[in-house]
């Protein structure tokens, strides 16, 4: 079996596949590593594993991308480049070598000093913390200087390595995958969905950056491309709404969910509600609230309510979802298909897709009164369903 690259839509069973494959490897006496970017997805993978396997296992190892780079690819062989132990990472959203707001570099931050690597390029001034945005580059340099020793070590420890949310990887991350795949030609599985690209692991513009470049990269590395054709989480009505977010780019999503369970059948589909209806809606249906940012919805959401941001909801699924979106998203849903045209990245569009596809059976958007008439989704009628009236 060659290395694999699974690219499939939301709810299609990518996590399910990782868990099933992992259990197969573990039951045959092997060990599995799953690398993923977000902490919420790390927690989801661990809990889904326990749900299916019945218990946790030391042979099912889940790591964040930067911990993986540091612990498995950098630290074990770091002495080929830097003698002092790299203790931890320093998170870098932007290039740490540029003077803020300019394109000018601080002095002495170039990659090399003569033939040697410059610690100040990869590490903070104390030389014990590695910049996260340059960890993949450092791992690549260490792989070259150590004759790919980290990949060989990894192969000895793990029979199968999964990279989940592979859409978020860019640039040097792919050099890492290239180095690993030279030593592990049949035990790497990369899984992702380009419609859910909402993060990027580093700054800069090193290729591959676009979905097309990334697919070409996997093809160049001879990964076998696979897909999962159906959505197994969301009912068809929610799949149809999710399909409107990237018009013309993907095939129609078909739902594999045939029945709405009795306990939620009194309310399903996609709706809009007014801010004044939020408290009744929360009381009646107990949806999981997803909001663009943690500062949104404060005027009508109870302060103690546990909410996810769109970003932290990635990888998760809920029977019912209530979405607090920025006006831009609501305008899009109201038929203004130009709202994303000037965006420099796909983040906003993709976050809307992620939020919609978390819902299994019902979702509702909170829409301010002045926009509500423009919405194409039905306004929730506010009536308690029969089944809930009976419970009063
Ligand atoms: N082969 C399968 N058989 C039965 N149930 C499945 C199968 N694949 C997925 N499911 C169920 O469908 C739902 C969605 O699957 P999963 O979470 O694995 O999708 P995903 O592709 O990882 O989603 P996302 O990218 O949106 O996070 C889950 O409830 C899962 O248990």
User: What's the Cα-to-Cα distance from 133 to each of 70, 101, 173, 259, rounded to whole Å?
Assistant: 12, 18, 10, 45
pLDDT in tens, 218-246: 999 999 999 998 999 999 999 999 999 99
Tell me whether the CATH fold assigned to 1-228 matches the one assigned to 236-388: yes
Per-residue pLDDT tens digits for 279-327: 999 999 999 999 999 999 999 999 999 999 999 999 999 999 999 999 9
Q: What are phi and psi of 371, to 5 degrees?
A: -100, -10
Which residue CA neighbors atom 25 of ligand 1 most closely?
10
**pLDDT(216) > 60:** yes
For ligand 1, the distance from its centroid to the CA atom of residue 231, given in whole angstroms, is 8
Domain boundaries, the chain: 1-228, 236-388
pLDDT (mean) for 126-149 = 97
**Beta bridge pairs of residue 123:** 130
Give the confidence band of 390 by pLDDT, cuts at 50, 70, 90. Answer: low
Q: Which protein residues touch ligand 1 with a CB less than 6 Å away?
A: 8, 10-16, 193, 232-233, 315, 317, 357
- Residue 158 CA, ligand 1 centroid: distance in Å: 24
Residue 13 Cα to ligand 1 middle (Å): 3
Architecture of domain 236-388: 3-Layer(aba) Sandwich (3.40)
* Helix ranges (DSSP H) in 273-356: 278-285, 327-333, 347-356
Which CATH code, of 3.40.50.300, 3.90.180.10, 3.90.870.10, 3.20.20.70, is assigned to 1-228? Answer: 3.40.50.300
Choice from 6, 16, 257, 258 to test ligand 1 binding pocket (greatest atom count within 8 A of CB): 16
Decide if pLDDT at 345 tops 60.
Answer: yes
- Give the closest residue (by CA) to ligand 1 atom 13: 233
Report whether pLDDT(69) > 60: yes
Is pTM beyond 0.80? Reply is yes
Protein residue with its CA nearest to atom 8 in ligand 1: 13
- Per-residue pLDDT averaged across 250-255, rounded? 94
Tokens 């104390």 belong to which residue? 126
User: Atom of ligand 1 at shortest distance to CA of 228?
Assistant: 21
For residue 48, which atom of ligand 1 is closest to its CA? 31
- What CA–CA distance (Å, rounded) separates 312 from 292? 10
């Amino acid at each position: 079996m060659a290395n694999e690259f699974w690219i499939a839509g939301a709810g299609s069973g990518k996590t399910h596949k990782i868990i099933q494959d992992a259990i197969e490897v573990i039951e045959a006496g092997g060990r599995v590593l799953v690398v993923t970017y977000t902490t919420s997805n790390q927690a989801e993978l661990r809990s889904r594993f326990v749900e299916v396997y019945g218990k946790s296992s030391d042979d099912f190892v889940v790591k964040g991308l930067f911990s993986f780079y540091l612990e498995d690819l950098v630290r074990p062989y770091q002495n080929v480049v830097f003698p002092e132990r790299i203790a931890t990472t320093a998170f870098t959203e932007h290039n740490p070598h540029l003077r803020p707001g300019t394109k000018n570099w601080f002095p002495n931050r170039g990659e090399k000093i003569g033939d040697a690597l410059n610690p100040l390029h990869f590490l903070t001034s104390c030389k014990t913390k590695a910049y996260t945005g340059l960890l993949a580059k450092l791992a690549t340099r260490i792989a070259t200087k150590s004759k790919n020793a980290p990949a060989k070590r990894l192969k000895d420890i793990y029979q199968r390595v999964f990279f989940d949310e592979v859409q978020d990887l860019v640039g040097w991350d792919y050099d890492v995958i290239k180095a690993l795949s030279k030593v592990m030609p049949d035990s790497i599985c990369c899984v992702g969905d380009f419609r859910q690209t909402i993060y990027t692991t580093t700054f800069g513009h090193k290729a591959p950056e676009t979905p097309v470049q990334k697919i070409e990269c996997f093809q160049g590395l001879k990964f076998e491309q696979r897909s999962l054709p159906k959505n197994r989480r969301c009912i068809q009505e929610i799949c149809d709404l999710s399909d409107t977010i990237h018009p013309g780019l993907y095939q129609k999503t078909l739902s594999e969910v045939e029945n709405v369970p009795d306990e939620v059948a009194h309310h399903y589909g996609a709706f809009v509600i007014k801010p004044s209806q939020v408290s009744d809606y929360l009381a009646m249906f107990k949806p999981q609230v997803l909001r663009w940012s943690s500062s949104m919805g404060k005027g009508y959401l109870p302060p103690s309510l546990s909410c996810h941001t769109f970003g932290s909801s990635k990888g998760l699924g809920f029977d019912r979802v209530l979405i607090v979106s920025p006006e831009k998203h609501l305008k899009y849903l109201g038929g203004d298909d130009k709202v994303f045209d000037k965006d420099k990245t796909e983040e906003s569009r993709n976050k809307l897709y992620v939020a919609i596809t978390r819902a299994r059976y019902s979702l509702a958007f909170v829409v301010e009164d002045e926009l509500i008439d423009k919405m194409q989704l039905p306004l929730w009628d506010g009536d308690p369903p029969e089944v809930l009236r009976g419970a009063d």
